[in-house]
Amino acid sequence: MPFSLTPGEIYETIRMIQSENLDIRTITMGISLRDCASSSVARTATKIYDKICQKAKRLVSVGEEISREYGIPIINKRISVTPIAVVGEACDGRDYLPLALAMEKAAEQVGVNFIGGFSALVHKGFTRGDENLLNSIAASIAATERVCSSVNVATTKTGINMDAVYRMGHIIKETAELTKERGAVGCAKLVVFCNAVEDNPFMAGAFHGLGEPEATINIGISGPGVVLNAVKNNPQADFGTLAEIIKRTAFKITRMGELAGREAARRLQVPFGIVDLSLAPTPALGDSVADIIEAMGIERTGGPGTTAALALLNDAVKKGGAMASSYVGGLSGAFIPVSEDAGMVRAVEEGSLSLEKLEAMTCVCSVGLDMIAVPGDTTAETLAAIIADEAAIGMVNRKTTAVRIIPVPGGRVGEKVVFGGLLGSAPIMPVSRFKADSFIRRGGRIPAPITALNN
């Protein structure tokens, strides 16, 4: 077979990796812990630790092997597990902290930096296990480094569990308080979802859904830098051409994920799950979704036109990516976290990007109000109301939305809180001073929308 690649193509790939931050953001192994249930918390914790260590013992070394052979950086190796509320349900004990500690210990043992799945699905109500888990979240996050927690409070099919929304307002406050010495970093590991997906490879919201197999490999790709350069190189292109350029770029980026995923699954002898097409920014220079929006011609992200630009970007990435992968899943949309995207941080600091504009942007992309720092005096009721708004957007539009918000204890508008690493740093943003207390305290569920009745 003659060799068919051109030097131009080879240099393009190398340029994407070496100077445009193209990487595989995460190889996430989903592991079912359903067989770890037992009547004792201590026994369940032991089984959780053993199972994770057994299933994931080669995850990091295989990830590093693939990274070296193909010359593509794989930034994170991570694990997602069955929602712990399900695993812990059969336990007599009510404190699930030992289960979180078992996850932490296993994650440390196998060498992953985050493990997701300290989670509960409560969109229609609480079981005993859900109650226990929710009561254990704040202490568990505070006592661990790597454990991530998520709670699904709404779906299009069931409506919004407003009791759960209100409780999450309180749990976020409590988590902030318990981790205040570290800039309330605990809240960066706690996500509130509407329409949570079962195969999300990205933290902090990853968990291994109940319809998933024993174990699986899900891939999260990255590549805002590559898309940014493609957009920058075509300043005069009309929208059709621009969409086409982004599609082509997204195709190439996604192929990397597809290759890494297939290889990792083969070497680890677990089924390949999905490639998540999300554009995931990092605090690194040029690796920013906000920069792409600005390269399209918006002076500052958050200004008029931002939502339209983001809609075009998000759609083109999906169209290109969907063609490149045999299985697409997860969240699959551009992420707009504030702290993890230097361009977003700049837009907030210059007064261009507000909480309300971010909310509008979440209507057209993945995934929600993400990594947003707000003043420490923001009440649980106001946090709950913000969550409810975001859940309503997800519920009505049949999409995933999420809230990862950080009420920084003692923090005031304009100050900056630093989390470090991929979590970046966030300017504290103003929140509306008008209250929703009486609304939130009504309790009960917001019924599913008419759009859910599609059978």
Partner 1 sequence: MKEEQQRAIITVVGRDKVGIIAGVTSALSEQNVNILDISQTIMQDFFTMIMVVDLTRAAVSLQELQGILARKGEEIGVQINAQHEDIFKFMHRI
The residue ranges that bind partner 1 (CB under 8 A) are 3-5, 7, 9-14, 65, 68-72, 252, 255-256, 258-259
Q: How far is the CB of 245 from partner 1 (least distance, A)?
A: 16
* Cβ-based nearer residue to partner 1, 72 or 417: 72
- Cβ distance to partner 1 smaller for residue 11 or 439: 11
Q: 368-375 and 24-31 as β-strands: parallel, antiparallel, unpaired?
A: unpaired
Distance, CA of 293 to chain centre: 20
Nearest to 51 by CA among 95, 96, 91, 82: 82
CB of 319 to partner 1, least distance (A): 15
User: Distance between alpha carbon 44 and the CA centroid of its chain, in Å?
Assistant: 27
Strands 115-121 and 190-194: what pairing?
Answer: unpaired
Beta bridge partners of 402: 193, 368
Smallest distance from the beta carbon of 71 to partner 1, in angstroms?
4
| Contact residues for 320 (Cβ-Cβ < 8 A; gap 6+) | 246, 247, 248, 249, 250, 251, 254
Question: What is the 3-state composition of the chain as percent helix, strand, coil, each rounded to the nearest 5?
Answer: 45, 15, 35
CB of 9: closest distance to partner 1 in angstroms? 5
Shortest Å, Cβ 68 to partner 1: 6
CA distance linking residue 305 with residue 236, whole number of Å: 17
Pick 71 or 213: Cβ nearer partner 1: 71
User: Which residue, among 94, 171, 170, 108, has the nearest Cα to 139 in the 3D structure?
Assistant: 171
CB nearer to partner 1: give 262 or 416. Answer: 262
Nearer to partner 1, 144 or 249 (CB): 249
Nearest-CA neighbor of 140 among 170, 179, 196, 191?
179
Of 258 and 340, CB closest to partner 1: 258
Nearer to partner 1, 320 or 411 (CB): 320
Residue closer to partner 1 (CB basis): 147 or 256: 256
DSSP-derived letter for residue 451 is G
65 or 108, CB closer to partner 1?
Answer: 65
| Of 214, 211, 231, 234, the residue nearest 223 (C-alpha) | 231
Cβ density class 379-399: b for 16+ within 10 Å, e for less: bbbbbbbbbbbbbbbbbbbeb
Comparison of 146 and 255: residue with beta carbon closer to partner 1: 255
| Nearest distance, CB of residue 271 and partner 1, angstroms | 20
Query: Are the C-beta atoms of 132 and 177 separated by less than 8 Å?
Result: no
With respect to partner 1, which residue has the nearer C-beta, 70 or 126?
A: 70
Q: Buried (b) or exposed (e) across 165-199, using 16+ Cβ within 10 A?
A: bbbbbbbbbbbbebbbeebbbbbbbbbbbbbbbbb
Nearest residue (CB) to partner 1, 261 versus 283: 261
CA atoms within 13 A on the CB side of 311: 9
Half-sphere exposure of 166 (CA within 13 A, CB side): 16
Rounded CA-CA distance 64/58 in Å is 10
- Find the shortest distance in angstroms from Cβ 165 to partner 1: 43
Residue 4 beta carbon to partner 1: minimum distance, rounded to whole angstroms: 7
Residues linked to residue 404 through DSSP beta bridges, in sequence order: 370
Q: How far is the CB of 373 from partner 1 (least distance, A)?
A: 38
Minimal distance in Å, beta carbon 23 to partner 1?
A: 12
Question: Considering the complex, what minimum distance in angstroms separates the CB of residue 213 from partner 1?
Answer: 25
Shortest Å, Cβ 158 to partner 1: 40
| Alpha carbons 358 and 187: distance in angstroms, whole number | 18
3-class secondary-structure state, position 397: helix
Q: How many residues does the chain have?
A: 455
Of 288, 432, 290, the residue nearest 374 (C-alpha): 432
